[in-house]
Copies of this chain bind each other. A is one copy, B any other.
Amino acid sequence: MSETSTDTGRVAPLDRAEERAWRAFVRASVVVPRVLEAELQAAHGVTMTEYFVLANLSEADGRRLRMGELAARGAMSLSAISRVVDALARRGLVDRMRCPSDGRGLLAVLTDAGLARLEEVYPTHLAGVRRHVIRHLDQVDLDAFADAVGCFALEDQEHG
């Protein structure tokens, strides 16, 4: 009987260290985005999601990406991205343009104004990330951390 869904039968409770790790993660995953968002909002009137879109576009070939690609990178729904890009477009920070190779697709293109804005916002974001996150990882093996955390909530690749 193969299982796509969660197998719940007899799972060992978390031991003390596991419990601590789990609670720390939960708290951080609530608090960090909120703090960073607040800083960005206060200093530049930009949300984290907007920053994320601008940053990803700036790194992309031709400073443009399809909506679906943006959604995938942020692990967000298409509808969320759609509205964020909409908001950025209204402020002139991105343009929307039909995808030449696929008429269904839309490209979000970073404008010069958008790039300039990103460069304004970047230091705030960077400082926040360092201060609230990276700074606390000095006793941790960053690669091991990234390997592990990068796999969170990824479905088992090996089945069994």
Contacts and interface: CB of A to CB of B under 8 A. Distances in A.
A75 interface: yes
Contacts of A147: 24, 139
A1 interface: no
A117 interface: no
Contact of A153 (B8, B25, B28): B28
Interface of A: 6-8, 11-14, 17-18, 20-36, 39, 43, 74-76, 123-124, 126-134, 136-137, 139-154, 156
B30 A146 contact: no
Closest 10 CB pairs of A and B: A29-B29, A24-B150, A28-B152, A20-B146, A17-B142, A136-B151, A24-B149, A31-B153, A132-B153, A21-B146
A29 B21 contact: no
Q: How many copies does the complex hold?
A: 2
Nearest to A137: B148
A11 B128 CA distance: 10
B128 A20 contact: no
Given A32-B29, A145-B145, A152 B126 contact: no
A127 B8 contact: yes
Nearest to A7: B127
B74 A20 contact: no
A140 B145 contact: yes
